[in-house]
Amino acid sequence: MFIVYILYSVTLGRYYVGFTGNLPERLRRHNSYSKGFTGRASDWTVVYQESYVDKEIARRREQEIKSWKSRVLLEKLIGSVGL
């Protein structure tokens, strides 16, 4: 199972979109001040997720969401379905 997820950091007031096969471990790594975009905060929380059986479909969905480049569209997606 692969998860496309959206994280939110209150500290940064920003969203992050990704996909993984192990969401708890991936979230732990995002919150451990690793290198990259999410390394600037340690308060990332999952605000949205979608599950896929196929890794390639999950990767394509992640890229589709990232291509929106729109906070409004992200927040509309997040608001459309509860966790």
Q: What residue segments make up the domains of the chain, in order of their start?
A: 2-80
- Give the pTM: 0.91
Q: Using alpha carbons, list the distances in angstroms from residue 32 to 6, 9, 23, 24, 75.
A: 17, 13, 14, 13, 25
Cα distance between the two ends of the chain: 17
Fold of 2-80: GIY-YIG endonuclease (3.40.1440)
Residue 13 clears pLDDT 70, i.e. is over it: yes
Q: What's the pLDDT band for 34 if we cut at 50, 70, 90?
A: confident
Q: What's the pLDDT band for 66 if we cut at 50, 70, 90?
A: very high
